[in-house]
Chain A
Amino acid sequence: MRRLLPVLPALWLAAFVLLPVILTLKISLSTPATAQPPYLPVLDWSAGIEGWGSFLEALDFTNFETLAGDALYRDAALSSLTLAAIATAILALIGTPIALAMARAPERWQPLLVALLIVPFWTSFLIRIYAWIAILKPEGLLSAGLIRLGLISQPLEILNTQGAVLIGLTYAYLPFMVLPLYAVLAKLDPRLPEAAADLGAGPVRVFWSVTLPLARPGLSAGALLCFVPMVGEFIIPDLLGGSDTLMLGRVLWSEFFSNRDWPLASAVAILVLVLVVGPLVLFREDEAAAREAGR
């Protein structure tokens, strides 16, 4: 009975998570074709072993060579990583004080604060990004407000820049950074920062020497939860970034929907996976190290 528990979910996950990724890898090695499905080769099951042979022979790395050779894709990869990294850093900077304030709030407020953080997090992502268009566009609310305050005279050109993408990324992923940080900080023994203060450390030293090192698992979990999906983000660069901002998610989208180049889109998907595997491995090592230290 107990042995059978994993069978059904494992079958589901194998069919709809593992197998699709393997298929994507396979198709990334294929060639586009004007056919249905629009790629070659297609495995001919009836041809037996020989079918496999010619199938495997027809696979190659052309798509990855295209990705490596074309500046467009290199730039997209670079700006995906750069924007995701900058946004993650901004999130760490603004997320830490928020998480700290939540963890130090009176205990009966904390569930409410968590709920307040979660509500926008589950509120339509598309709509929350859409809301920023009206704020950021040149005749939008931000420019109008700043002009009325006399801080600027010309409307701001933010929308359709990388700046707008950074704002959108920061906005959309803030809860993903704050929640894991809060979870760690709320469990932090309040006597530890007290002990540090008791031993003569001022608030700044308490934060750097005790609170932050102990909150590190939360910080790295938050960074991971933000960075990985950001690298492949589509909606934010599409709605806020304009035509100048190339990010891999958008490149994948347009290769697939506009150019109908499924193999190249698959190659971009594999590239994104490879790019985010690095941070994942780093995170696991960090987590293992934290567990080691905390044992």
Chain B
Amino acid sequence: MRALDRLALILGLGFLYAPILILVVYSFNASALVTVWGGFSTRWYGVLVADVPLREAAGVSLAVALASAALATVFGTLAALALDRGGRFAGRRLFTGLIYAPLVMPEVITGLSLLLLFVGFGLDRGLLTLVVAHATLGLGFVAVIVGARLRGLDRSLEEAAADLGAHPGRVFATVTLPLIAPSLAAAFLLAFTLSLDDLVIASFVSGPGATTLPMRLYSQVRLGVNPEINAASTLLVGTVTALVLTASWLTGRKGVA
């Protein structure tokens, strides 16, 4: 490997990881001053465990993430199937645009516009509106991941199943679904992570009693650097890392792009 390439990778990955590592290291800092090292301690994890509002917020986030990821996976997979198998249908271009729009649309716009929708139809803001908003955000990502797998699928496998007498429902259940299963799992995990991570959209569409973990963290971060947040971040980073590694293992295992 060329020396310049190696340098680019080391600098690039160093840039990406250094802030996270600093955060993790300082979560074990005995001192309350974030920039002064006062020796190793787990005291901030103790503070974290005792922080009831933060724990409640984490519970809300997990529940919302599970529900919205499940919805996103179902609808995103249907959308991917529609694009891959639906042939030509009226409004196909608009449909494609609507799938991709939440992927690039600035979050403030997604959040504000969904809020205006919920208010306009007199829906009370809370868990339900959060789930719907996050499912909409995740849907596009699911459609992209599952769509890539569907395009890479060897069509002759499904044709073989049909040739052997399986009706379309059985072909889907016994051939298509098992083949795209790893990408479904990966897509679910990514939708879950996105929901868990979102601050902006949640701030718009959630109501009293539905404060998510990022919302709670944000209100503390605004007050300045705080070691308890470092501890919370470390746990969050650890969870997300585990999820991403699982997802990439699942996709990599079956040769999914």
Contacts and interface: CB of A to CB of B under 8 A. Distances in A.
Interface of A: 1-3, 5-6, 8-10, 12-21, 23-24, 27, 37, 94, 97-98, 100-102, 104-106, 111, 113-120, 122-128, 130-135, 137, 139-141, 144, 171, 174-175, 178, 224-225, 228-229, 231-235, 239, 249, 252-253, 256-257, 262, 265-266, 269, 272-273, 276, 280
A235 B221 CA distance: 11
A234 B16 contact: no
Nearest to A5: B82
Interface residues of B, number: 84
B94 to A, nearest CB: 8
Contacts of B218: 126
Contacts of B254: none
B78 A5 contact: yes
A130 B225 CA distance: 8
B47 interface: no
19 contacts: A5-B82, A17-B98, A20-B110, A23-B117, A104-B5, A105-B9, A111-B252, A115-B244, A118-B244, A122-B197, A123-B244, A124-B196, A144-B35, A229-B106, A232-B107, A249-B107, A269-B109, A273-B109, A280-B104
Interface in B191-230: 193-194, 196-197, 199-200, 203-204, 214, 217-218, 221-222, 224-225, 229
Q: Report whether over half of chain B's contact residues are helix, strand or loop; otherwise say mixed.
A: helix
B126 interface: no
A95 B84 CA distance: 32
Given A3-B86, A269-B108, 16 more contacts: A5-B86, A6-B78, A13-B139, A16-B133, A20-B113, A20-B117, A104-B5, A117-B16, A120-B17, A125-B199, A127-B23, A130-B217, A139-B35, A229-B104, A234-B108, A265-B112
Nearest to A136: B19
A132 B203 CA distance: 22
B81 A5 contact: yes
A233 B107 CA distance: 8
B168 interface: yes
A105 B13 CA distance: 14
Contacts of A125: 197, 199
B85 A5 contact: yes
B78 A9 contact: yes
Nearest to B248: A115
A127 B237 contact: yes
B240 A124 contact: yes
A256 B243 CA distance: 34
Interface of B: 1-2, 4-6, 8-9, 12-13, 15-17, 19-20, 22-23, 26, 34-35, 75-76, 78-79, 81-82, 85-87, 89, 91-92, 94-95, 98-99, 101-102, 104-110, 112-114, 116-117, 119-120, 132-133, 136, 139, 143, 168, 190, 193-194, 196-197, 199-200, 203-204, 214, 217-218, 221-222, 224-225, 229, 233, 236-237, 240-241, 243-245, 248, 252
B227 to A, nearest CB: 10
A126 B197 contact: yes
Contacts of A175: 16
A24 B116 contact: yes
List the 4 closest pairs (A to B, CB-CB), nearest first: A232-B106, A20-B113, A101-B5, A131-B19
